[in-house]
Structure formats: structure tokens, C-alpha cells
Amino acid sequence: MTINLLVDGSAVTCQEGETILTVARRLGRTIPTLCHVEGLKPEGGCRLCQVLVNGRMRAACHTLVEEGSQIVTDHPDIRSERKNLLGLYQSAYPHAFSNPSSPLGRLAQTYGLKALLAPERPKSAHPDHPYLRFDRSLCVNCRRCVQVCRSVQGQFVFAMGERGGFSRLMIGLDDTFSHSPCVACGRCVDECPTFALTDRDHYADRSAVKAVQSVCGYCGVGCRIEASLDASDQLAIKGVRDAAVNRGHLCAKGRFAHHYTRHPERLTQPQLRKANGFEPITWTQAYEWLVDRIQSTQKKYGPDAFGLLTSSRSTNEAGYVSQKLFRSIIGTNNVDCCARVCHASTAQALQKVTGTGAASASYADIEKARCIFVVGANPTEAHPVVGARIKQAALAGTPLVVIDPRAIELTQFAQLHLALKPGSNVALFHAIAKVMLAQNWLNSTYVQERLEGFETYQKYLESVSMRDLAASCAVPESAIHQAAEILGRGPTLFVHGLGLSELTQGVDSVATLCNLAMLNGSIGQPGAGMLPLRGQNNVQGNADIGSMPNLFTGYQSLSDPTVRTRLQEIWGWVPPATPGKTMPEMFESAAQGTLKFLWLQGEDSVQSDPNTHHIRQALGNLETLVIQDLFFSETAEYAHLILPAAGALEQDGTFTNGERRIQRVRPILPPPGESRPDWLVMCQLAKAMGVDWALDEPSQVMEEIARVAPHLFGGVTYEKLEGDGIQWPCPAHSEGTTTVHAKGFIRGRGLLTATPYHPSPETCTPEFPFILNTGRVLHHYNVGSMTRRSDQSILVAADYLEMNPEDAKQLALEEGQTVEIRSRYGSAQLVLKKSERVQPGTLFSSFHFPQTRMNQVTSCHVDPESKCPEYKITAVSVRGLSSEAKG
Ligand code: SF4
């Protein structure tokens, strides 16, 4: 309902439920606040926002607009009241007014407060945290930090202690960040009006000489960042306030873990392997060497002796020109990327079931959702900004169901946690579907009008017993019934991750989860649908632009004559119509000696791929290995040529996040030394091989992508990507798509999948009695090449093994003890941590530190369709080595 009122004598129409502060600020009025956080529930504590409402003083932050009100926002009485209030604050907290550049200091000047003679300022305590600082003498107890920590991050680090005049801010239980549950998101620093809370990089109280808006280079959430340099060239990062993805929020990695960019170990010059090791060469020499190697390998072995793994940390433009070079000039479809070892199962399943291998929903659906299922994902650690949004939705009352063998943090906020047996997703999803069908908890209209395969699926579910399904997934039938009932109430948002895809039944796990999402009519509805969380910053984009052996840019068929004609026109070449090799197939061919030339962009395969011995053997067999990376890695030890790459903060282009949002990436720093962006290297190499693509800017590459795949990107231009970017599909004249499959599935009808559950071939035996699951922890990122070279290593210095205390007791193992885990494939040593999060008989470990060599332990099993490795299940034994590391 609309409300009509007068603001400073002007007629204004606004909405019922709005506060006077919201309306006045929208009109451009300046109303000071101390305790208020934009977008959060008003505190109403500081009273600085007082205005006159029908002649009486009222706090604008929590007074709602009323029909016919007369509001005055500026008046001598108001100014005098605000000045008095500020004076009271000043006498209580004199030091807090000492910095004229803090928001409070600026306010004091505006209202003409004179400096007070303050007692000597106590020295602030030595920082106990690598990033965050607190100076109690500057704190005015405004509680903004308490609010944002609670209502944005959901972490409850801060509280108010004592009472009355003794009231004071408390950090954790002992006033230290390091002993508190703080996750170092830094949002409290952004809100502090006095600089009592600051951070290592001093974003809040610095004078920037250069600032750009870009996108975080870590995970697939794709948070928008503002990066700035001050006069002494120090870099700092904060979240963009009005960004659709993150609304000013970041995690510790995105905000603070940027020191890798200037790390002394950065590669800065091309290096060629010689008899005595690597020698620096110029780019001209590097291109000459490459042209010679490519031509001689082509001549001797043909195009299929080549392979390319593009980098999902690099830009869309880089991925596009890289696969173009291999597909056109070299003539092979042996092009793949790291999605193969994480989300290939998801992409393949969604493609098969819905017609497109990407999320149907958007992050904004988290707040709109009726109910959220988090399945095989640990968002608060691996995708922290999305994790915080899910946590907030649950705190606000949205029913949350977690399906995960581990008691991840979100289970504390969940209505139901189904702790299934590792890898048994398909059995559990069929069991839930069986109850939904039996109870008729379906969206029958949706099933009839939009799906196919229902009768087959129904027959299949009738043929399997509930007892067998429940036994297979080790979830009580009562809990299965409860989950089905929740789904039966209506559309649901399914947030899922690698706990579904990194299994031998990865494609089936995702496809059968889609069964649930389709039976209750979720896919294509706002606030519902499939929202897979993507790993690397641009893993979505890298697959979109064609880093897949079986599909061209925009998921177009290799054999589609229209597409082939279009590529012939644009590229001047017809690429081969036969699918190339996937990443595991490339390594297998290298091990067998048929793949001779491999180019790895940003891939440390020795550390990140399963079964390290096999990878080392394959790499050692190659005639040519080219590495394009930020740092020398274990994989680079096998290289013949190393090319120094530019990082996310050093290049121009675009990244696409997990909700299909293409966003602009801009450089704040130049690439160090001679390092160059990947897209430029590929264009220069093409030229060195006699082909001038006339692609001189990343924007021109995007224009070509739009022409090659007009159905997805035809309407994408750099101009339209300003601000929050565009979510594909974005054909010509479109503004992008928030919810895919809204009017119908891209493939026509959604496909229900009746594949039976097949247990993993990796089984426990008396020799290997535990199931090991590997994954990420909050403070590190994949192989850790960037986070290990930042202060994140102070927060978490090594990989550790989580073991249930019951199991530790049985094996007489102690917290902090070094243990050896051994599988059928290899062994690794790491430190033991007792944890109730893992079920008895199961273990969890991260894989961020090369010295752990975790992938010597993981198996060679892969999903037969997607070839995604089964990182989530390896049978292992554990034995204690020493108790020296106890601590
Ligand atoms: Fe970067 Fe992901 Fe953290 Fe956002 S959530 S700041 S994208 S690492």
C-alpha cells in the first residue's frame, strides 16, 4: 500500500512499512546514524537520526512512515539535539573522537564539536590475529559490529558485556579474535564508525590513489570486489556494497589472501628446460621454440598427440582463445579443464535431465526459498559468502535440510540432517522419491505437463523395497519420510556440491537429486531449483566457452552442421567432429605413450589429481610439457617450458560464477616481471604460427564468443557487463536470465532417471576399515598455491585428519598426533584432530598442502560417464606414528 506524506514540505509517496530513514535517504537527505547498519533491522540505540515528525522528535531509523505525516529532517532543534547527543558520546568516549577522518570524527566536525582534553590514550593490545585489530579506547559501544557479525555472517563473535556505564564490547569469551569463532570476513571493520576495529590492510582509513571494481579470484561464488592501492602502493580489497552476489560481503580469502600476488616465488620470465635445469628465455624465444615443437609434433604424430587443460582460474577470454588454438590451428578436440575433476558429473547430469549443464536458479533464490536442501556441499567453508546467506535464511526461519555424511556447520541450523553412508546418495534419493509417490506428495500438474519418464520411474520405485534402500544409505526410514514430507510441501532450492559429483555414481547422484526437484515442481520456479556450487572462480565460464572435449563453445554439438558452418566462417577452419580425450584419458594416453604434447594452464596435476603415481608416470612420458602458471609447482618439475601467467588481479576480461553470471575482471596491478595474461599469450602464439586472429583486446574476444554461441551469449557485450554483469542465457537483445527452464525445459521435457544405486567399488576390509572423504577447509583453496602464500597459513598451517573420538579411542590415538593413512594406492602422513563431525568409521581430510601428498592415497575410480574421480570415497587404514606433534 502506498503512503503519502510531506518531507521537508514536499509531497512524497512511499510504501507502507518503510522507515523514515529509508525514505529520507532515498530523497538524498543527510541523516546521521551511529548504530544503524544499512539493510539490517534498526537498533534505535544512538538516537542521532532524530527528525521532527508532526512536530515531535522521533528516531528515523525505526519510525515507520504514516499517511499524512509531516516530516522535517533539518531544523535548528534537530541539529542542537544531535550535537548534544554527540557531546555526550564525546565525554564518555573522548578518544573515539580523536581521528578526524573516521566517520565519527567527520560527524563531530559537521556538528561543530570542539576537541576535548582527553586522558592519555591507553596503548592498544598486541594484535592476536593476522588480519583484525581492536582498539578498545576508540569503541563507542554502537554495536554495529555485533549486528553485522550476527546478521550478515551469522558468526556471533561479538557481544555486549557488563551493564549500564560499564557496558563494553566483548570479542569471543576472552576478548581475542584468535580464540573466538571469528572467520575473518572483515565485515565488522567495514561498519565500525570510529576505527576501533581495523584490519591489516586499512581499507577503511586509507586514501586510495587507484581503485578498480573486479571479481574475486578464488571460488565460484564470484564476489564483486573493490581493489585499491594507496600512495605507498599497498593493496587492499573490500566487497562492493551494492553487488548482487555479495552485497559488500567477502570471506577471508577474497578480502585478505592477496599477498600471493607479490610473493617472491612468482614466476616472472619464461623458462626453458636445458641440460642443467631451467634457463630464463625471452617471450620471442619461447614462441619460436613452441612453433617448432608444435610443428614437429604435428608432423610426426598428428593432431591427436596434443592435449590442453585450460585454467578455470583464468578468464573466459583466455579459455576461449586457448581451445580455439588447439581446435583450429592444431586440429584436436583434446581440450578439457579442471571441471573434469570436480563438477563434470553435475554438468553432464543437468545437461541430460534439463538440457543445460548449469544452475537453473540464482543466489537471490536463497532469500526467496520456501525451503533449502543442502546436499553434499559445505558452503560455510567452501563457498563462505553463499554459506552465510544460507545461514541467515535458516536463522530467519526458512526450513533447512542437510544431506551429508559429515555434520557440517549448517547442520546446527538445520531442521533435519540426513547423515547418509558416504556415496549412497542415489539410494537415499530413490527412497525419498518412493515416499513422495506413495503419499502423493507430488506436484501432479508439473509432472504431467513438464516431465517425461514418470511411468518408468514409478515402476522402478515399486520394484525396490524401502527397507533395502534405507539399509543401503543407512538413514532411518522415519528421517526419509520426514524429508519427503518437507519436499511434498512445495518447491525447494537444492544447493549441492562435490559430495554428489566426485563419486563413481556422480552423474546418477545429481540426476536422481533432480528427480526430487522435478517431482515437487522446483526447477524453473523462483526461489527454487538446482543451484550447484562451483569450485574455482571461473570453472563455470571455462566449460561454457568450450573447454570440453565433446562440446564446442556454448555446449554446442561437435557434429551440428550449423555450428560447424558458423565456426568455419568465424575461425576459417572446421574443427574435428569427433570428441577428444577427457583429462583422465589424456593422462592415460600420456602414460601409454600416445599423447606427446600437453599444455597445462594453472593445473598442478601432481597435487590435485587422484593417484599421484599414475600422474607422475604420465607426465614423465611426455615429449613436451608446457606449464603456464603463477608459481613453480610439483607438476612444473616435469615441464619443458614454463610460461609465467598473470593472476586474477592483474588482467582484464570476465569470469562466470556458479549462477551463470558473467562479470568484468579488471587489473589493479601489472603482471609481475615478464608475465603475461593467458589470452594474450595464445593470441601471440597464433600469430607466431602465421594466423592473425585480430583479437587485440579481451572485449574483442567476447564479441567473437557472442558470435560463435549466439543462443547463450549473443547479447553479451562489455558495455552490458558493467555493474552486476549478465546471467546467461543471454541471446541478442536479452538482458540475461535469472531462472532457467521457467517456461519449459531447454530439452523440451525434464527427464526422470530410474538408474539403480550401485555401491562404490571402493570397499572397506579389515585391512582398510575406514572411508576417507577429502575436501576443502575454510581458510585454504584447492592446492593452496595462493592461500599458502598468504597469511591464511597463520590461520591454518597444515592439512589435518578428522577422526571420530570413538575411533581415536579404539586406536589409542591422541589429538595432535601424527598419523599415517594408507590406502590400496599409497600413503600420507598428517596430524590427527578428533571431531564429532565425522561418523565413526569415516574420516575427513583437506588436500591443500603438497607435503601431505593426499592424492597419493585417493583411488583411480571415476564416474563412467563424466570421468570425474571418486575423491569422496577411499578405503584406508590409520596408524599412529608419534605423539611429538601433540598440541
Ligand atoms: Fe572469494 Fe568465494 Fe570468498 Fe566470495 S566466497 S570472497 S568469491 S572466495
Helix axes 678-688, 316-324, angle to 10 degrees: 20
**What single-letter amino acid sits at 545?**
I
Dmax (CA) of the chain = 90
Ligand 1, residue 245: give the atom nearest the CA. 4
What's the confidence (pLDDT) of residue 52? 95
**What single-letter amino acid sits at 537?**
N
- What the block records as the C-alpha cell of 472 is 543401503
What's the confidence (pLDDT) of residue 164? 79
- The span from the CA of 307 to the CA of 331, in Å, is 11
Q: Which are the contacts of 30, defined by CB distance < 8 A and separation ≥ 6?
A: none
Query: Which residue carries 569427433 as its cell?
Result: 578
Ligand 1, residue 254: give the atom nearest the CA. 6
Cα–Cα nearest to 374, from 315, 317, 329, 415 = 415
**What single-letter amino acid sits at 67?**
E
Is the pLDDT reported for residue 169 higher than 60?
yes
Evaluate whether 361 touches 739 at the Cβ level (below 8 Å): yes
- The span from the CA of 816 to the CA of 538, in Å, is 36
Is the pLDDT reported for residue 348 higher than 60?
yes
- The span from the CA of 38 to the CA of 191, in Å, is 10
383: CA distance to ligand 1 center in Å?
Answer: 6
Ligand 1, atom 6: closest residue by C-alpha = 254
- What the block records as the C-alpha cell of 200 is 591489516
pLDDT tens-digit profile of 438-475? 999 999 999 999 999 999 999 999 999 999 999 999 99
Ligand 1, atom 2: closest residue by C-alpha = 219
Evaluate whether 399 touches 518 at the Cβ level (below 8 Å): no
368: CA distance to ligand 1 center in Å?
Answer: 22
Q: Are strands 770-774 and 842-845 parallel, antiparallel or unpaired?
A: parallel
Beta bridge partner(s), residue 831:
800, 818
Candidates 185, 187, 221: which one to mutate for ligand 1, based on the most atoms within 8 Å of Cβ? Answer: 221
Beta bridge partner(s), residue 132:
199
pLDDT tens-digit profile of 185-215? 999 999 999 999 999 988 777 788 999 999 9
Helix (H) or strand (E) holding 105: helix 103-110
Evaluate whether 461 touches 434 at the Cβ level (below 8 Å): yes
When pLDDT is cut at 50, 70 and 90, the band that residue 751 belongs to is very high
What's the confidence (pLDDT) of residue 885? 43
When pLDDT is cut at 50, 70 and 90, the band that residue 163 belongs to is confident
pLDDT tens-digit profile of 350-368? 999 999 889 999 999 999 9
For residue 467, the SS3 value is helix
251-278: average pLDDT: 95
Ligand 1, atom 1: closest residue by C-alpha = 254
Burial environment of residue 163 by CB neighbours within 10 A (0 to 12, 13 to 18, 19 or more)? exposed
884: CA distance to ligand 1 center in Å?
Answer: 36
pLDDT tens-digit profile of 58-69? 999 999 999 999
- Annotate 488-498 with b (16+ C-beta within 10 A) or e (fewer): bebbbbbbbbb
pLDDT tens-digit profile of 821-833? 999 999 999 999 9
Ligand 1, residue 387: give the atom nearest the CA. 5
540-561: average pLDDT: 93
Helix (H) or strand (E) holding 680: helix 678-688
658: CA distance to ligand 1 center in Å?
Answer: 12
Helical spans, DSSP H, in 464-596: 466-473, 477-488, 498-501, 506-519, 539-544, 561-571, 583-592
Q: Does the N-terminal peptide bond of residue 729 adopt cis geometry, omega within 30 degrees of 0?
A: yes
Beta strand ranges found along 733-799 (DSSP E): 750-751, 770-774
Beta bridge partner(s), residue 770:
876
pLDDT tens-digit profile of 648-704? 999 999 999 999 999 999 999 999 999 999 999 999 999 999 999 999 999 999 999
804-828: average pLDDT: 94
Ligand 1, atom 3: closest residue by C-alpha = 251
What's the confidence (pLDDT) of residue 330? 96
For residue 486, the SS3 value is helix
Ligand 1, residue 216: give the atom nearest the CA. 1
Half-sphere exposure at residue 77, Cβ-oriented, CA atoms within 13 angstroms: 10
785: CA distance to ligand 1 center in Å?
Answer: 16
**What is the phi-psi region of residue 546: left when phi exceeds 0, alpha when psi lies from -120 to 50, beta otherwise?**
left
Ligand 1, residue 225: give the atom nearest the CA. 6
What's the confidence (pLDDT) of residue 139? 94
498: CA distance to ligand 1 center in Å?
Answer: 17
534: CA distance to ligand 1 center in Å?
Answer: 11
- The span from the CA of 834 to the CA of 849, in Å, is 20
- What the block records as the C-alpha cell of 598 is 600437453
When pLDDT is cut at 50, 70 and 90, the band that residue 783 belongs to is confident
251: CA distance to ligand 1 center in Å?
Answer: 5
Half-sphere exposure at residue 677, Cβ-oriented, CA atoms within 13 angstroms: 25
Ligand 1, atom 4: closest residue by C-alpha = 223
Ligand 1, residue 383: give the atom nearest the CA. 5
**What single-letter amino acid sits at 53?**
V
Evaluate whether 561 touches 287 at the Cβ level (below 8 Å): no
Rounded to whole angstroms, what are the CA distances from 801 to 528, 774, 877?
A: 35, 9, 12
Ligand 1, residue 537: give the atom nearest the CA. 7
When pLDDT is cut at 50, 70 and 90, the band that residue 887 belongs to is very low
Mean pLDDT computed over every residue of the chain: 93
What's the confidence (pLDDT) of residue 886? 40
Helix (H) or strand (E) holding 818: strand 818-823
Q: Which residues line ligand 1 (CB under 6 A)?
A: 216, 218-219, 221-223, 246, 250-251, 253-254, 383-385
Is the pLDDT reported for residue 729 higher than 70?
yes
Is the pLDDT reported for residue 882 higher than 70?
no
Ligand 1, residue 239: give the atom nearest the CA. 6
Candidates 245, 250, 312, 391: which one to mutate for ligand 1, based on the most atoms within 8 Å of Cβ? Answer: 250
- The span from the CA of 344 to the CA of 584, in Å, is 12
Candidates 237, 251, 495: which one to mutate for ligand 1, based on the most atoms within 8 Å of Cβ? Answer: 251
What's the confidence (pLDDT) of residue 338? 82
Asked which of 110-119, 586-595, 838-847 is least confident by mean pLDDT, the reply is 110-119
- Annotate 438-460 with b (16+ C-beta within 10 A) or e (fewer): eeebbbeebbeebbebbeebbeb
**What single-letter amino acid sits at 356?**
T
187: CA distance to ligand 1 center in Å?
Answer: 13
- The span from the CA of 546 to the CA of 417, in Å, is 38
702: CA distance to ligand 1 center in Å?
Answer: 24
Sequential DSSP letters for 342-380: TTHHHHHHHHHHHSSSS-SS-TTHHHH-S-EEEES--HH
What's the confidence (pLDDT) of residue 193? 94
Query: Which residue carries 581458510 as its cell?
Result: 779
136: CA distance to ligand 1 center in Å?
Answer: 30
pLDDT tens-digit profile of 215-225? 999 999 999 99
245: CA distance to ligand 1 center in Å?
Answer: 10
Evaluate whether 625 touches 600 at the Cβ level (below 8 Å): yes
**What single-letter amino acid sits at 369?**
A
Asked which of 222-231, 607-616, 699-708, 767-776 is least confident by mean pLDDT, the reply is 607-616
- The span from the CA of 363 to the CA of 624, in Å, is 42
724: CA distance to ligand 1 center in Å?
Answer: 15
pLDDT tens-digit profile of 365-422? 999 999 999 999 999 999 999 999 999 999 999 999 999 999 999 999 999 999 999 9
When pLDDT is cut at 50, 70 and 90, the band that residue 778 belongs to is confident
Ligand 1, residue 657: give the atom nearest the CA. 7
Helix (H) or strand (E) holding 881: strand 874-882
